[in-house]
Amino acid sequence: MKLFLQTLKQHLLSGVSFAIPFIACGGILIALSITFSPMTGQGPDFSHSVFWRTLNVIGNAAFTLMLPVLAGYIANSVAGRPGLAPGFVGGWLCADINAGFIGALIVGLVAGYLAQWIKQWRVPLMLRPVMPILIIPIVASALTGFLVVAVVGPPVAALMVSTGEWLRDMSAGNGLLLAVILGGMIAFDMGGPVNKTAFFFGAAMIKEGNAAVMGCVAAAIATPPLGMGLATLMMRRLWSDEQREAGTAALAMGAIGITEGAIPFGAAEPLRVIPCLMLGSMSAAALAMWGAVGDHAPHGGLVVLPVVEHKIWYIFAIVTGSLVTASAVNFIKLLQRKKST
């Protein structure tokens, strides 16, 4: 069992290493486009600059490719080249149905093991040469695609609708509890369906005159990447060169409100990292709600400061949440290192 888990981790790390450039490229380009564009009540305004609007489109294209690349190279790690096509197809469909990076991780493994299983089929001698380039990619892609669209898609869509309705009912009750729930949702899948449900709920509350909900969401959005970037700075010896580079990019993305900057860390060690991300975002969201922070733009990070009420509390919430995440994840890394020695 231990050997299987180590192999599984290696497959995930393989996919993450190929996805990091897409995350960094997309995140930095989007961050630059937002930083140099005016922030309005509807978000960043690109109408006055073709250059920054185009840069934003390019950055979003890189982000769109991130999930297929992640799933594709996880599948490639499992099954070799025959796993690439089903992994990429499954990852693209995950993006299409908003299954997020957690969906891509699972689909990448499923696609890889499907391709590996098909490789073991006993087929006529004349079919063997075309198995890796034709039969395996077609069959595994079709099976993976049907699994994502028919099995994963409908429950995800239904869950997001019901969660949105539940959050709307919650907004009439305890604001601090709502903030904690929203903070956990934001960090759970970093841009996936749970994150987007919380984000769009906060954005909808702005239109209803309740900017406090978006205030706690905006603080929670920045915390995961800032926390992970801070963790790589606080205890550099615990992190590889590649992780430290990803941490630098995560700091830039966190400042501009791009939660996906933490994905390289969450995808590599989901069971250890994601709880730490959630703890930090929940802390930031609760502090923002407690300090009556209001955000009048559907975005997060420091870029929305011009339209934020109680700016000091907002910054304090983000810094505190980031420190919570960084301290928690480094503590777990230290425990992990002691156990392995």
Query: In whole angstroms, what is the distance from residue 124 CA to residue 157 CA?
Result: 42
Shared-domain flag, residues 274 and 312: yes
* 313 in the same domain as 244: yes
For position 73, what pLDDT does the model report?
A: 95
Residues 103 and 210 in one domain: no
Domain contains 160: no
Of 9, 88, 163, the residue nearest 96 (C-alpha): 88
- CA angle 176–178–180, rounded 5-degree value: 70
Q: Do 144 and 178 reside in the same domain of the chain?
A: no
| Rg of the Cα atoms in the chain | 21
Which of helix, strand or coil describes residue 9? Answer: helix
Number of domains composing the chain = 2
pLDDT given for residue 220 in this prediction: 96
Same domain, 66 and 183: no
Final residue belonging to a domain, choices 152, 184, 214: 152
Helix (H, G, I), strand (E, B) or coil at 257: coil
> Which domain does 198 fall in, by range?
171-341
Are both 122 and 206 inside the same structural domain?
Answer: no
Amino acid identity, position 60: N
Residues 217, 113 share a domain: no
Q: Rounded CA gap, 145 and 264, in Å?
A: 24
Determine, yes or no, domain membership for 165: no
Residues 100 and 187 in one domain: no
Contact, 26 vs 63, CB < 8 A?
A: yes
For residues 127 and 45, give the distance between their C-alpha atoms in angstroms, rounded to a whole number.
Answer: 56
Alpha-carbon distance 255 to 276, whole Å? 19
Q: Examine the fold and report which residue of 104, 120, 152 is the final residue of a domain before the chain moves on.
A: 152
Prediction pTM value: 0.84
Pair 92, 241 in one domain: no
**Contact of 87 with 141, CB cutoff 8 Å:** no
Same domain as 72, residue 115:
yes
pLDDT of residue 171: 67
Same domain, 217 and 95: no
Picking from 96, 122, 152, the residue at the C-terminal end of a domain is: 152
The candidate with the shortest Cα–Cα distance to 199, out of 155, 163, 251, 229, is 163
> What does each of the 341 residues of the chain score in pLDDT, given as a tens digit?
667 778 888 898 889 889 988 988 888 888 888 888 887 767 788 888 899 999 999 998 998 899 999 999 999 999 999 999 999 999 999 888 878 888 888 899 999 999 999 998 888 888 888 888 889 999 999 999 999 988 887 887 777 778 777 787 776 667 889 999 999 999 998 888 888 888 988 888 888 888 999 999 999 999 999 999 999 999 999 998 889 999 999 998 999 889 989 999 998 888 899 999 999 999 999 999 999 999 988 888 888 888 899 999 999 999 999 999 999 999 999 988 877 66
Same structural domain, 143 and 23: yes
